[in-house]
Amino acid sequence: MLEFSILFIIPLITAVLCYFLKSIRLQYIYSLSAGLLHLIFTLLIFIGWYKPNLPFFFSFDSLSNLFLLILSNVYFWVVLVSFSYLKRPVNSKAQDGKKYYFLLLNFYLFANTSAILSNHFGMYWVSAEATTLSIAPLIYYYRNEEALEAMWKYLFLVSVGIAFAFIGILFLTLSANGTPLESHQLFYTEFIKNASKLNPVWLKASFIFIFVGLSTKIGIAPMHYGDVDATSNSPSPIAALMSGSLRITALIGVLRIFQIVRPTTTFEFAKIILIIGGLLSILVAFIFMFKVNNYKRMLAYSSVEHLGIIVLGIGIGGLAFVGAMYHIAYNSLNKLVLFFTAGNIHRVFKTREIKDVSSVLKILPWTGWLFMLSFFAISAIPPFGIFFSELMIFQGILFSDRPWLLAITMFMLLFIFINMGKTIFNMLYGGKENEAITNENESFEVIHFATIVLLILLITIAVISPDILHENILNISKDFGFSL
């Protein structure tokens, strides 16, 4: 029960403690300790130094191992920078948001851990809904009209999406009629074993509803609007949390149903749906980047783009699937860096409008250079990790039965890079200086430290390519029936 206590009970107890503690500093210390313990224990499980044994509705496999490590890592860095973020002056209404910040963060960790480690569709559905409830109040941190609208839009669209996913689960139970699974519990492993016996019509309906429903949380077009608004209006640490970890919690639900359809006649149909969703997401980001007004919204659409690349790689399969798994890990690190630095820019310029931000490199040298490096990293410039993961995805597309998709994808990504680069370099170099802002003397902060470490990690993991990570991703590929 040690693993259950560390991964589930401690975050929940810490959330309760944060409710009763009035000191934000104490809340931060307890939350950071819980996050560090969660990360260390997750890492021990990932590298195989500890063999976990979870109770009834939960289990570990290669996929949950990878996703849990990503969640734990993202969570730790977000908590680490959060105290310095909360010390920044805000209006009187936003002061109330600080009281429940760490309470909600710990509940977020509990809910996402539960969703990732679920071995049961019912438990996953409940946990996925809990993740929505944990993040929604954090979107409303600033207590202004934009944040309120973003929170309610996110709650409404995601709740509708979760309802769609629930219908998809019901269709999955109908597909089991007349099979040994009829009237049995909705365990993933049992459905995978008996997948070939499922009714293909109901299985197709189940995949469509689960994919469309969870796309509201993943940020896959055309179901991305609520997620984009929430990300662009959230505090930067929360935006980083959503882009780096919340999306993959929803993605694992799609991967579970995709794993079930793998040995069935529904598989090709499911691949086409994923490929269409991936291309639509890249297309939406491609169109948006031609007219960018809000830099945090731009980063939110960058998340839509990269989740589109990931879903496209999963749909293609083979080497592209392996590249997609690497891309999930690298993208999570990169989004932390982008949103952390964007948060510093917002703190000084007090606006998210691009036209009002200029000469960042001169005014905020630390933040400016790190923001530039994070742009290079997200744009797949070597030696950053995304270069290697995108290369694998592109190779997989090229040698697939749909090589023409590569030309379409690269064309859109080229213009996303050009337009995003033009916007960022205008922020860094161009425009007129504001004398009041020019007097800002930027000091080295914990956010800069976290950003530098994360950028080093992006390079180190990609260049060294640790055997344990490679083996884990190959095991995931084998679980999905892809052999290289």
Q: Where are the domains of the chain?
A: 274-484
Which residue, among 346, 334, 337, has the nearest Cα to 233 in the 3D structure? 346
- pLDDT for the residue 17: 95
Displacement of CA 96 from its chain's centroid (Å): 27
Could you write out the DSSP letters of every residue in 277-304?
HHHHHHHHHHHHTTS--BHHHHHHHHHH
Cα gap 417→434, rounded to integer Å: 28
Which residues lie across from 353 on neighbouring strands? 294
Q: What is the pLDDT of residues 222-273, one digit of tens each?
A: 888 889 999 999 999 999 999 999 999 999 999 999 999 999 999 999 999 9
- Give the pLDDT score at 108: 96
Decide: 171 and 205 in contact? Cβ < 8 Å. yes
270 Cβ contact list (under 8 Å, min separation 6) = 204, 207, 211, 257, 258, 261, 315
pLDDT (0 to 100) of residue 180: 81
Question: Is-contact 111 5, C-beta < 8 A?
Answer: no
Work out the burial of residue 350: count CB atoms within 10 Å of its CB; fewer than 13 is exposed, 13-18 middle, 19 or more buried: exposed
Sign of CA dihedral 216, 221, 225, 231: positive
Fill in the DSSP letter of residue 196: G
Condensed to tens digits (0 to 9), the pLDDT of residues 345-354 reads 988 888 889 9
Token digits of residue 337: 């860096």
Q: Which of 424, 448, 241 is nearest to 333 (CA)?
A: 241
DSSP 234: S
Please report the pLDDT score of residue 435 as a whole number.
54
**Mean pLDDT estimate for the chain:** 92
pLDDT at residue 437, rounded to an integer: 65
Q: Residue 99: what pLDDT?
A: 84
User: CA 325, CA 275: separation in Å to the nearest integer?
Assistant: 16
Count of residues in the chain: 484
Q: 130 phi and psi, to 5 degrees?
A: -65, -35
Q: What is the pLDDT of residue 436?
A: 54
pLDDT score recorded for residue 432: 63
Q: Per the structure block, which two tokens stand in for 115?
A: 């969703």
Give residue 196's pLDDT: 87
The tokens for 454 are: 């994360």
Which pair of tokens denotes residue 427?
């922020």
Helix (H, G, I), strand (E, B) or coil at 118: strand
Asked if 77 and 449 touch (Cβ cutoff 8 Å), the reply is no
Between the two ends of the chain, the Cα-to-Cα distance in Å is 37
Q: Would you say the pTM of this structure is higher than 0.85?
A: yes
CA within 13 Å, CB half, 162: 20
Count Cβ atoms within 10 A of the Cβ of residue 180 and give its class: 0-12 exposed, 13-18 middle, 19 or more buried. exposed
Q: Which of 268, 225, 243 minimizes the C-alpha distance to 338? A: 243
Q: Which helix (H) or strand (E) holds 134?
A: helix 121-139
Six token digits for residue 219: 């940020």
Element holding 460 (H helix, E strand)? helix 446-464
Chain centroid to CA 142: how far?
Answer: 22
Measured between alpha carbons, how far is 342 from 348 in angstroms, rounded to an integer? 10
Name the nearest CA neighbour of 317 among 437, 78, 114, 484: 484
Alpha-carbon span 213 to 158, nearest angstrom: 8
Give the chain's residues under pLDDT 50. none
* Alpha-carbon distance values, 152 to 139, 155, 226, 248, 256 (Å): 9, 5, 9, 22, 29
